[in-house]
Amino acid sequence: MSTLHLTAPTVNPADLGKVAVLMGGTSAERDVSLMSGAGVLQALQSQGVNAFAFDPAERPLQELKAEGVDRCFIALHGRGGEDGTVQGALELLKIPYTGSGVMASSIAMDKVMTKRIWRFEGLPTPEWRLVANAHECEQALVALGAPMIVKPAREGSSIGLTKVTDPAQCAAAYAAAAQHDPEVLCEQFIEGEETTCPVLIVDGQAQALPVIRIVAPGGNYDYQNKYFTDEVKYLCPSELDAGEEAEIQREVVRAFKTLGCRGWARADVMIRKADRQPFLLEINTSPGMTGHSLVPMSARAAGLSYEDLCLTLLASPSLDNPAHPG
C-alpha cells in the first residue's frame, strides 16, 4: 500500500487569471469529455477561479485569444483533444495548458507507437500485431493465441474493442475497430488482474499515485461499465502486495517519462496471473474527471480532494516552447 500523502496547493485563484475549460470536442468520447469538463468547471469555480466552459466543436480556438484567456484546462478526450492537435493550436496561440505537450500527446494517443517506444526502452507490454484487414486479424490470432484483444490504434475508453477467442469472430472484431480507425491493433490478452495507476507532477517530479485495482463483472471493463454503471468495483488501496504495487508504480513512472509526458497521466497495467508480471497496456494523457473517473479516486487516497487536484493541475500549465510568451 502506498504511503504517499499529497498536500493541497497554495494557490491564489486570482493569480490563475481567466481560465478556459476545454470540453466536448468532436471525438467518439465527446459525452465523457462533457462530463469531465462539467466536473472540473464546477470545482474550479467553487474555489474562486474565473473559469468558463469552451467547446472546440462549437467555437474556433482562436476565440480563446480574443477572450483574453490566460490558461486552459484540457478536459478533452480522444482524437482532436488529447492527440496533440489542440495542444499544437494552443502552442501557436501561446496559451499555456494542462497536461502533455504536442509530441507526447500524439504518441500516447497512438497505441502502436507507444508500444514500439516502450518495447525499445525495455518496458513490458503485451505482444501485438498491426492489421489492415480481417484476414490479417485471423493471422494475428494464430500468432498471438487466444484470447486476443482487437481495438482501434487511436481511440480511448474501450471504444471499438473486442475480445476474440475464435477465428470466426475476427471479421466482426476487425470491422468494429476499423470503423473508428483505419489502423487496427491486435494485442495478446493478458489473463490476470487489471489495474491503473496515475502519475502526477509534484514539485517538478513525476510521482506515481496509489494503484487502483479494477474488478469488472465478468471481467468486462467496457465503455458502458466505465462510465454509466456502478457494477465495477474499484479497490484503492489496491490490496496488492506492497512490492507489487511499488513495481507497478516504478514501471508507470518510467512509461510516463519515456514518452516525455508532463502534468499528469494514467497508465493501465495488467498483472499476469501466471507469474505476477505487470504489463503496460496504454497511457492516457488527458484522463477522465467524471464521477466514475480514477485519477480523482487515487488522488483522494493520497489526501488530495477533487478540487485540489484540479487546482494542482491548473497551477502549473506549460508550453513546449515557453521561451516566447505571448
* Structure confidence by residue, pLDDT tens digits, 161-198: 999 999 999 999 999 999 988 999 999 999 999 999 99
Cα→Cα distances 273→249, 276, 277, Å: 18, 5, 8
Query: What is the pTM (predicted TM-score) of this model?
Result: 0.92
Give the residue with greater pLDDT, 222 vs 319: 319
24-59: pLDDT as tens digits: 999 988 999 999 999 999 999 999 999 999 999 999
What residue type is 232 in one-letter code? Answer: V
| Averaged pLDDT for residues 7-18 | 93
**Per-residue pLDDT at 232 exceeds 90:** no
Residue 20: strand, helix, or coil: strand
Residue 124's φ and ψ, nearest 5 degrees, are -75, 125
Do residues 199 and 265 lie in contact, with contact meaning Cβ atoms separated by under 8 Å?
Answer: yes
Q: Give residue 229's pLDDT.
A: 58
Compute the mean pLDDT over every residue in the chain, rounded to the nearest whole number: 92
Q: Give residue 153's pLDDT.
A: 86
Q: Give residue 326's pLDDT.
A: 45
Closest of 303, 297, 234, 236 to residue 1, by C-alpha: 236
Q: Give residue 1's pLDDT.
A: 46
**Per-residue pLDDT at 126 exceeds 60:** yes
Q: Give residue 157's pLDDT.
A: 55
Question: What is the set of active-site residues?
Answer: 29, 157, 227, 266, 268, 282, 284, 288
- For residues 20 and 227, give the distance between their C-alpha atoms in angstroms, rounded to a whole number: 24
Reported as a pLDDT band with limits 50, 70 and 90, residue 220 is low
Do residues 178 and 131 lie in contact, with contact meaning Cβ atoms separated by under 8 Å?
Answer: no
Which class would CATH give 128-188? Answer: alpha beta
Residue at grid coordinates 494464430: 142
| Averaged pLDDT for residues 199-206 | 95
Question: Strand 162-164 and strand 18-22: pairing?
Answer: unpaired
Give the residue with greater pLDDT, 220 vs 3: 3
Architecture of the domain spanning 13-98: 3-Layer(aba) Sandwich (3.40)
- DSSP labels for 251-299? HHHHHHHHTT--SEEEEEEEEETTT--EEEEEEESS---STT-HHHHHH
138-148: pLDDT as tens digits: 999 999 999 99
CATH topology of domain 108-124+191-309: D-amino Acid Aminotransferase; Chain A, domain 1 (3.30.470)
**Per-residue pLDDT at 156 exceeds 80:** no
What are the residue boundaries of the structural domains of the chain, listed by start? Answer: 13-98, 108-124+191-309, 128-188
Do residues 112 and 128 lie in contact, with contact meaning Cβ atoms separated by under 8 Å?
Answer: yes
Element (H, E) at 187: strand 184-188
| Averaged pLDDT for residues 269-275 | 96
